[in-house]
Structure 1
Amino acid sequence: MGEGEGPESSNQPDTRISSPFSWRGDSYPSILDSETPDHLSRIRDLGIPYIFDIHTHFFPETVMKLIWRWFDNVNWAIGYRLPEAERVERLHHNGIQRFTTLNYAHKTGMASSLNDWTYTNYKNWKGAIPFGTFYPEEGVLAYVKKAVEEYGFLGFKLHCEVSKLNLSRPELADTFLYLQEKQIPILIHSGTAPLPGEFTGIEFFKPFLETYPKLKVIVAHMGASEISAYASLLDTYPNLGLDTTMVFVDFLATGKAEDIDRSVSYLETYKDQIYFGSDFPNIPYNLNHPITRFLDLPISDSAKQKILHQNAENLFFK
């Protein structure tokens, strides 16, 4: 599938079967040239005006293509290999009217330029909530302050696996203290799925949270594949949250099916601390799949309303 073409369906099954990541059952959610977002009537019936997706990615085109190349190498089909403007249209088409601009750096000197790029472009993406990133390097606090105080960014994203990032690096202490004081949320990929990293896992995350107990942190993928370990921290740390990104779907890249099934109860118990996320555009299925699967879960309407909409609204605009 070339840049600018629609989601591809003709050769997906063989590609998916050869992927190192497994699927539930024998069938795969389709990637179609046209979507039918039949979930829209269901969210209206719940009184949800629109979905707030807290985990969507925006990178400069050259970087995004490199990311897609990595996914190609592990036979992870990219469902939305589309130009940027068309990707935003697909979000709106699926009832997602607010979404984050997540990106992250994997080397020195990259984070500040990503923040500049996001600031220059995010107003072109209707509904975008601007997120920055940072990296353990000289000047990190200065460009984080610029992102907050000059650019008006509402959050930050870190990826411990890709960035080989130890959250306890001393170079980041002042930055974390600043964000804790300002109550600016950080969305952190610190879990060991789909692939573990040198500094991923609850053994690295828990000491970090103990150091900054009032920091607003959202753990990507509910901490998969250690969901129960991360969920066990929610009572102690009221500013901690989890996002549902790629958890309750048929593509099992973030944990075993039995562990995911056992995690459904957390959505009810901690419905005020969990946020809906999709990982768009880097998903191997239509965007309606994670939404429909979430709506099908045996949890209360109140939990669905909070997770799909209210919690993120309160996080940024309360």
Structure 2
Amino acid sequence: MSANSKDIRISSPFSWRGDSFPPILDEDTPNHLKRISDLGIPFIFDIHTHFFPETIMKLIWRWFDNVNWAIGYRLPEIERVKRLHQNGIKQFTTLNYAHKKNMAQSLNEWTYANFKNWPGAIPFGTFYPEEGVFSYVKQAVEGYGFLGFKLHCEVSKLNLNDPELSDSFRYLEKKEIPLVIHTGTAPLPGEFTGFQFFKPFIETYPNLHVIIAHMGAHEISAYASLLGHYPNLALDTTMVFVDFLATGKESDIDAAIPLLERFQDQIYFGSDFPNIPYNLNHPISKLLDLPISDKAKQKILYRNGKNRFFK
């Protein structure tokens, strides 16, 4: 990342907490490694990391460039995996998503062909409302051995209540296969984002294992209100408790802290790596700094993910 990364981040339309910025790339020895070891956490499980074919990833980075969202981790794929490991993240998901028809199946094929090259990768697929969707979802589970799926309602302009997806959701509900779903309105709203679309969806598939990305920001309290009613529902902390305020105002984020203690069994750590405007130490250290119990930190950073995918 160039020396003017601070200037780039200052000019972002998304604000920052305070007037200083965390480093854009890793320090030689991230300072959170000893802290997690002292908590009895052998490694971090990251529920929200992205892997795309190089051409698509570069197009995504171009979008971030247009909003001055500085990204330091523009590194070869295997180097990015090394950075995850160096930060104590030894297990992580392979999230990607389609933004048009006839794309999701090829993304699944690419993930299947490559994920074994990324030590610690938990293979996730994706799908899209289109002809044949149920067939390739079933193939991803039973043929490829995928352990989850990612959907992005804003980028994909995807309505979770689309009848074309009902067979896939019923199948995944029966198979107890989790989905990470970006359904919230942060950082930008979409045609089908927001609680008003998610609530009827989860009412239709009440036993579906769903992890709501970014804790549902900008409607964290609304999504959290469902946790007591749907035991298979969870939230991830991706980009929430950090100094970059793309997921909400400072007051909204501070108000969400007690949720981590109250619903500690239903919260997963997520980073959004590599598409973050700070180094990986930042979201981990910020979570470790929060006034919640050591037990909650252990569950969020490690145990919940481990228990979910390696029972």
Tell me what 1:87 maps to: 80
TM-score, length-scaled by structure 2: 0.99
Q: Which amino acid aligns with 2:259?
A: Y
Does residue 286 of structure 2 align to residue 287 of structure 1? no
Indicate the SS of the match to 2:180: strand
What do the CA deviations read for 1:24-57 (whole angstroms, capped 9, x no partner)? 0111112147443110000000000000000000
Q: Which amino acid aligns with 2:165?
A: L
Q: Which amino acid aligns with 1:187?
A: V
1:220 and 1:245 in contact (8 A); partners too: yes
Tell me what 2:120 maps to: 127
1:148 and 1:154 in contact (8 A); partners too: yes
Tell me what 1:4 maps to: none
Tell me what 1:242 maps to: 235
Stretches of structure 1 that go unaligned for 5 or more consecutive residues are: 1-7
TM-score, length-scaled by structure 1: 0.97
Tell me what 2:260 maps to: 267
The 5 Å alignment of 1:22-37 reads 22-32=15-25, 34-37=27-30
Aligned length: 311
The 5 Å alignment of 1:174-213 reads 174-213=167-206
- RMSD of aligned Cα (Å): 0.8
CA distance in 2, matches of 1:29, 1:69: 22
1:16 Cα offset (Å): 1.1
Does residue 65 of structure 2 align to residue 75 of structure 1? no
Identity of aligned residues (%): 77
1:35 and 1:286 in contact (8 A); partners too: no
CA distance in 1, matches of 2:156, 2:119: 29
1:9 and 1:30 in contact (8 A); partners too: no
Tell me what 1:162 maps to: 155
What do the CA deviations read for 1:63-104 (whole angstroms, capped 9, x no partner)? 000000000000000120101000000000000000000000
Does residue 248 of structure 2 align to residue 255 of structure 1? yes
CA distance in 2, matches of 1:13, 1:310: 35
Does residue 113 of structure 2 align to residue 115 of structure 1? no
List, as ranges, runs of 4+ consecutive aligned residues in structure 1 with deviation greater than 2 Å: 32-36
2:26 and 2:281 in contact (8 A); partners too: no
2:25 and 2:73 in contact (8 A); partners too: no
Alignment CA distance shift 1:236-1:31 (3 Å): same
Alignment CA distance shift 1:245-1:35 (3 Å): farther
Q: Which amino acid aligns with 1:93?
A: Q
What do the CA deviations read for 1:171-193 (whole angstroms, capped 9, x no partner)? 00000000000000000000000
